[in-house]
Amino acid sequence: MKLIASLILAAFATVANAQERDWSAPQKPFTIYGNTHYVGTAGISAILVTSPQGHILVDGTTAKGADVVAANIRALGFKLEDVKYILSSHSHEDHAGGISALQKQTGATVLAGAANVETMQTGVSPKTDPQFGTLSDFPGSTKVRGVSDGEVVKLGPLAVTAHSTPGHTPGGTTWSWQSCEAGKCKNVVFVDSVTAIGPDSFRFTDHPELVAQFRGSFKKIEGLACDVAIAAHPEVNDLWGRQQRAEKAGSAAYVDKGACRAIVEPGRKRLETRLASEKR
Ligand SMILES: [Zn+2]
């Protein structure tokens, strides 16, 4: 009887893990690998990379989620004022909506792909965004600076590299760094969204330069040294399943050399399906 009950519970847990969670709901923070910690909400990733000389935060989740991220940073024993940089994956409300409030609380410099800087400042997406017209505005940030492809953000012993991965937004950026645990260092990648989404009225076929951007981004992400991948939407790389497995397996549950490729594959299929549907 007990076994059946736990099997049913496990089945429910699996369903819950596969489903999208609330983008602004609280989530207990946890360590992924070494100095890489999850401080995001239940449904949107935010990552804190820590050092004795200060910390780097990747993404801020939603405007409502900013409080969750701030509380999570404190719950792990870190100070908000020690966050020196906030890096943005892409300038949409679900990932960047909380950055304005977090910037104010930390005093950090916000770094984003050069083509997304204006959107980060205003909270209003440009016409060149495939989702233009369907996006929510979000609070704009101050102290925003653009980064270029390959630029390395340094803070004490930390070095985080920006990889331009445009398509989903014009200045979309994937970020990578190394984290070490008991002398073993891993390449950690925060993978930006690579989904081709837009209203039916938007035809990707009419924007060959955008299609080329997506294809270039797929290739770039696949080619990265990638031992631990964190997707902007955590369920995309089964973060919740991994977290469960980590209870027994430790941080090994997050290590997966094929993860960057696995994240890109559905994005590529989605783009090709969309292009094919536009031909009909
Ligand atoms: Zn987005």
The Å distance, Cα 103 to ligand 1 centre, comes to 20
| Residues present in the chain in total | 280
**Look-up: residue for tokens 């991948």?**
229
Residues with CB under 5 A from ligand 1 (ion): 92, 193
- Please check the confidence at residue 53 and state whether its pLDDT lies above 70: yes
Quote the DSSP letter at residue 255. Answer: B
Structure tokens at 252: 């090994």
The CATH fold of domain 2-278? Metallo-beta-lactamase; Chain A (3.60.15)
Domain boundaries, the chain: 2-278
Single pTM value for the model: 0.92
Structure tokens at 3: 């076994």
Give yes or no for residue 17 having a pLDDT over 70: no
Dist. CA 78 → ligand 1 center (Å): 28
Confidence tier at 21 by pLDDT (50, 70, 90):
confident
CA distance 226 to 195: 20
Pairing of β 47-49 and β 36-38: antiparallel
